[in-house]
């Protein structure tokens, strides 16, 4: 039953559901696109490139606006076109040649069905947090193994470390195996939790943004790690240390797994 027909006091929708219902109704007006096998690839590429572009523009402006360099972790580094274009090209190539065929097979086997009702706001937020925590744990284990086992590192993960100073478009500069591993973790988590399609879309947007921010090379006053208290979230400085030293900070977002395993390094601790 749609929330628009919830006039009976016994079936009144929650305020959280009513809050999201107009947004979900608007998205459902694009139902043909949302159910298309092309949508996941279009959504992923446009969201990723859209989040990367502001940092690319900032890198270009740094040459003319030196004040911007105060926010860069490596003030003297700006990615060149010879670094940016291969990263963008590889992202587009992998999505077209590998992600789209898998998406097409999944669509053929189980076409997406969109519910009429929006999720409750609190449930959406809880699911996104749980998805992030699960993803953080899964990638921590994957990442640690691919650094500790030399064959795994050389074969699958080394390509991601070709740029010692990270930048936004290098976020998805990775092997096909790594790309599919991250995608598998994403989809497994939303499936296990039974997430609403709107929750799934929101989680993917948040996850892509956090990944791009981690690789952006910019430490702003409003960066995520400055907004989360008690050092629970590592952020761009945390991940930049991983790219600099390789043997620390394996979790993508939060810091608890690195603390537990003794692999956490902060900016004030010198490299061995």
What is the spatial distance between Cα 241 and Cα 51, in angstroms, rounded to a whole number? 22
Sequence-distant (≥ 6) Cβ neighbours of residue 114 within 8 angstroms:
28, 31, 34, 35, 197
The string of DSSP codes covering 215-265 is: HS-B--TTSHHHHSGGG-B-HHHHHHHHHHHSSS--SSSBSHHHHHHT---
Q: Which two tokens stand for residue 144?
A: 């640690």
Indicate the pLDDT class of residue 217, thresholds 50, 70 and 90.
Answer: very high
Q: What is residue 212's predicted lDDT score, i.e. its pLDDT?
A: 98
Task: Tell me what pLDDT residue 113 has.
Answer: 81
pLDDT value for 16: 67
Spans of all domains in the chain: 20-259
More confident residue, 10 or 230: 230
The answer to whether residue 268 scores a pLDDT higher than 70 is no
Longest dimension (CA), the chain: 67
pLDDT at 215 > cutoff 90: yes
Digit-coded pLDDT (tens) for 113-167:
899 999 999 999 999 999 999 999 999 999 999 999 999 999 999 999 998 788 9
74: DSSP letter: S
- Reported as a single tens digit per residue, the pLDDT across 40-89 is 999 999 999 999 999 999 999 998 998 999 999 999 999 999 999 999 99
- Average pLDDT rounded to a whole number, residues 169-191: 96
CB-side neighbour CA atoms (13 Å) of 78: 16
111 pLDDT above the threshold of 90: no
């Amino acid at each position: 039953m749609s929330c628009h027909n919830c006039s009976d006091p016994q079936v009144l929708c929650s305020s959280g559901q009513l809050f999201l219902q107009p947004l979900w109704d608007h998205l459902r007006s694009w139902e043909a696109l949302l159910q298309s096998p092309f949508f996941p690839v279009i959504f992923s590429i446009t969201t990723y490139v859209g989040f990367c572009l502001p940092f690319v523009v900032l890198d270009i402006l740094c040459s003319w606006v030196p004040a911007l360099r105060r926010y860069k972790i490596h003030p003297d580094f700006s990615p060149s076109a010879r670094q940016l274009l291969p990263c963008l090209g590889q992202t587009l190539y992998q999505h077209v040649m590998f992600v789209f065929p898998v998406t097409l097979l999944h669509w053929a086997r189980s076409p997406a069905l969109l519910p009429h009702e929006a999720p409750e706001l609190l449930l959406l937020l809880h699911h996104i947090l749980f998805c992030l925590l699960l993803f953080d744990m899964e990638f921590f284990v994957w990442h640690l193994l691919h650094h500790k086992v030399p064959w795994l590192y050389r074969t699958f993960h080394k390509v991601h470390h070709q740029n010692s100073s990270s930048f936004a478009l290098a976020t998805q500069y990775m092997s096909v195996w790594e790309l599919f591993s991250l995608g598998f973790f994403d989809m497994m988590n939303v499936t296990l939790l039974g997430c609403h399609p709107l929750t799934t879309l929101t989680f993917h947007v948040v996850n892509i943004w956090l990944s791009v921010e981690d690789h952006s090379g910019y430490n702003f006053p409003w960066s995520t790690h400055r907004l989360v208290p008690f050092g629970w979230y590592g952020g761009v400085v945390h991940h930049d240390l991983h790219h600099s030293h390789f043997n620390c900070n394996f979790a993508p977002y939060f810091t608890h797994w690195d603390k537990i395993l003794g692999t956490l390094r902060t900016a004030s601790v010198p490299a061995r």
